[in-house]
């Protein structure tokens, strides 16, 4: 009976676990992409700030 139960339920359990893993993977990738996008924006903002500060320093000299 145990083997029969396993045969009947193993594939369903695997499919459920695999689906959950796929969902978590997609959430992780979306978060990773969002974090990278935010980092790129902050980097660009910093470069603009640095350039402006440098220009103000040069003009003030």
DSSP assignment string, 4-61: HHHHHHHHHHHHHHHHHHHHHHHHHHHHHHHHHHHHHHHHHHHHHHHHHHHHHHHHH-
Distance in angstroms (rounded) separating the CA atoms of residues 19 and 28: 14
Confidence of residue 61 (pLDDT cuts 50, 70, 90): low
Summarize pLDDT for 4-48 with one digit per residue, the tens.
888 889 999 999 999 999 999 999 999 999 999 999 999 999 999
Distance in angstroms (rounded) separating the CA atoms of residues 20 and 15: 9
Q: What is the DSSP-derived secondary structure letter of residue 1?
A: -
Model pTM score:
0.61
């Amino acid at each position: 009976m145990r083997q029969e139960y396993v045969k009947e339920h193993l594939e369903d359990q695997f499919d459920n676990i695999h689906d959950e893993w796929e969902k978590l993977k997609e959430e992780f990738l979306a978060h990773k992409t969002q974090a990278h996008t935010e980092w790129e924006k902050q980097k660009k903002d910093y470069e603009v700030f640095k350039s402006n500060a440098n220009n103000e320093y040069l003009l003030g000299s």
